[in-house]
Amino acid sequence: MQIHVVQQGDTIYNIADTYGSIPTDIIDANELDAPNNLVVGQALVIPIVGQFYFVQQGDSLYSIGQQFGLTAEQLAQINNIPVGGTLPVGAQLYIPEQPKPGITSNAYIEPTGEEVSQTLINSAEKTTPYLTYLAPFSYQVNRDGTLTAPPLDNFAQIAANQNTSLMLTVTNLEEGEFSRDLGHIIVTVQAVQNTLLNSIVNVANEVGFSDVHFDFEFLPPEDREAYNNFLRKAKQRLSEEGLLMSTALAPKTSAEQTGAWYGAHDYAAHGEIADFVVLMTYEWGYSYGPPLAVSPIDEVRKVVNFALSVMPANKILLGQNLYGYDWTLPYEEGGEPAEAISPQEAITRARSQNVAIEFDQEAQAPFYTYTDSQGNNHEVWFEDARSIQAKFDMIKELGLLGISYWKLGLAFPQNWLLLQDNFTIRKLD
């Protein structure tokens, strides 16, 4: 795969010609609904074997080769140029396909209401080939330790068709919110824990879950050790049943970080007890907050670096959003929430408003502003091929176990193509 950022004057035809591709392949890969009306700044993935690199000021064959695991001699031979020759800025070099590391990938899917929407079913069918785990969100713990299941429709069969395992996600959600009181009961009352673990084992065996994933949030900070002890108890029981166990962790940058969402999450203990963890490295920009990148890579890296200081890299799934937000300005604390939108919808809005997409180099995230027909100003931050490739590069650089997506249902076709292009997806069976 090649990432191409649309410039003024670009057309599908000249882009395809540049990379030796076919216009229809580019249209299909990016699910373009208006291929003859591209947006300046829009990132496209070009389906080719390998990729092209365009020489930048100061580049040498040696420095370029280092980026792609090639020697200067190999790069020269592939491109039929002399090793000691001058590289003109803008020259196009071909980089052959590289060996792919293995990756564990998960995606949460959140059905609501009595029935699963066709949109979610279609999304699960399209993405399970790229997933190790599919995680229906969520089984909610009742105050007596029993479980209330989400609507599952035929998720188990959809997953089985692609040799994708199911992750049993267990939460302390109550009436639509993470409950501090319910969380306290779960981690401190032994009778509730015993009922809960029995319920989990029964559900796992009945439905066919492979991993049990605890996403307990907004726990009282003073329950930190109680939560750790619950996880130890759960791990022992689940291991006896042949089940893996994972946890979700709020994005912390130090062990001393305080706050309602952070205090009870002990990175070192989870790294020791769980088979793996999901770092919830998103929502810097969130629906009720000011306009920001949802998962700015500079902030994400701080969380990952702290996690790596207390647990091995091969236990970490990097959390990644599959959506962006459209904020109406001016932002007012306590005002109307931003609208969650798919990356595809973000591009559609930029096109309809005739605005160029910009890219924040520090956050490694695309954004733009526009004024709607009522005269309201908007700011949009979302994900594109460049932002997701930056996360993939970090996963490879740091040797992380893989990635976990929140959540399926919003279209982002470039992500799945790039995931497959960068990695070999692990399957448990």
Cβ(10)–Cβ(333) below 8 Å: no
Active-site residue, selected from the candidate residues 217, 299, 345, 379: 217
With 0-12 / 13-18 / 19 or more C-beta atoms within 10 angstroms meaning exposed / middle / buried, residue 267 is buried
Per-residue three-class SS string for the chain? CEEEECCCCCCHHHHHHHHCCCHHHHHHHCCCCCCCCCCCCCEEEECCCCEEEECCCCCCHHHHHHHHCCCHHHHHHHHCCCCCCCCCCCCEEEECCCCCCEEEEEEEECCCCCCCCHHHHHHHHHHHHHCCEEEECCEEECCCCCEECCCCCCHHHHHHHCCCEEEEEEECEECCEECHHHHHHHHHCHHHHHHHHHHHHHHHHHHHEEEEEEECCCCCHHHHHHHHHHHHHHHHHHHHCCCEEEEEECCCCCCCCCCCCCCCCCHHHHHHHCCEEEECCCCCCCCCCCCCCCCCHHHHHHHHHHHHHHCCHHHEEEEEECCEEEEECCCCCCCCCCEEECHHHHHHHHHHHCCCCEEECCCCEEEEEEECCCCCEEEEECCCHHHHHHHHHHHHHHCCCEEEEECCCCCCHHHHHHHHHHCEECCCC
Q: Are strands 102-109 and 133-136 parallel, antiparallel or unpaired?
A: parallel
Token digits of residue 260: 């309602």
Residue 240 among the catalytic residues: no
Q: Just list the catalytic residues.
A: 217
